[in-house]
Amino acid sequence: MTAKTRTATVTRETKETKITIVLNLDGEGKSTSNTTVKFFDHLLNLLAKHGSLDLEVTATGDLQHHLVEDVGIALGQAFVEALGKKVGIERYGSAYVPMDESLARAVVDFSGRPYVVQKIAFLNSAVEDMQTENLKHFLESFGQNAVMNLHVEVLYGENDHHKIEAVVKALARAIRQAVKVTGKTVPSTKGQI
């Protein structure tokens, strides 16, 4: 990584999954996702588009749970690598996003201290080909491995598809705000994050 490019390539290979992620924090919202879970691919594409990230994800695995969780781990690691010492970033970001009858809020802090809070209730066990509980596994794995505070909440809504899309779009917009370079120093009184 150089001062001009905030990119990362992470490969994670276990007995259960094989994942490669290519991330550009200063992208144009371009995304190619092939995880074998179509709805998850859609969510990753939404994250890239609304976060103004360029993102390539290739993933295979034995179980959906392992696959989604490990993509979250690898994506978090890619953010750590791409952000480097976090010089000049805004650090904090927040967004509200509606999706028809649903409204979601996401608040993030690339603090170097991992903590994830999720307030999302689902009516169904799956949306299309993805188990709804796996969204929570993805968010937990991503937040922990990006070493960030990540708070997401569905304030109201009925349709699980709409709730999930609102959460991912809100998260993307919060991330876009937080990783934006607005200064020249590390945004912490400690001098490092």
Cβ-contact 81, 10 below 8 angstroms: yes
* Total of domains in the chain: 1
- Cβ atoms within 10 Å of 57's Cβ, excluding its own: 24
Cβ-contact 116, 143 below 8 angstroms: yes
Render pLDDT for 152-177 as a digit per residue (tens, 0 to 9). 999 999 999 999 999 999 999 999 99
Q: Is residue 163 part of a domain?
A: yes
Looking at residue 62, its amino acid is: D
Whether the pLDDT of residue 186 is over 70: the answer is yes
Whether the pLDDT of residue 3 is over 90: the answer is no
Q: Is residue 192 part of a domain?
A: no
pLDDT score, position 4: 66
Query: Which DSSP symbol is given to 63?
Result: S
Q: Average pLDDT in the 63-69 region?
A: 97
pLDDT score, position 2: 41
Render pLDDT for 98-117 as a digit per residue (tens, 0 to 9). 999 999 999 999 999 999 99
Q: Is residue 186 part of a domain?
A: no
Q: Is residue 190 part of a domain?
A: no
Write out the residue range of the structural domain in which residue 29 sits.
7-179
Q: Can you state the angle between helices 38-51 and 160-179, rounded to 10 degrees?
A: 40
Could you tell me which residues come within 8 angstroms of residue 162 by beta carbon, excluding any fewer than 6 positions away? Answer: 99, 100, 101, 102
Q: Is residue 188 part of a domain?
A: no
Q: Is residue 189 part of a domain?
A: no
Binning pLDDT at 50, 70 and 90, where does residue 67 land? very high
User: 114: domain CATH number?
Assistant: 3.30.230.40
Smallest Cα–Cα separation from 43: which of 63, 18, 13, 72? 72
Percent of the chain clearing pLDDT 70 (strictly above): 98
Q: Is residue 2 part of a domain?
A: no
Tell me the CA distances in angstroms from 185 to 86, 90, 112, 193, one per residue in order: 8, 10, 16, 11
Q: Which helix (H) or strand (E) holds 102?
A: strand 102-109
Q: Is residue 169 part of a domain?
A: yes
Q: 3-class DSSP state for residue 127?
A: strand
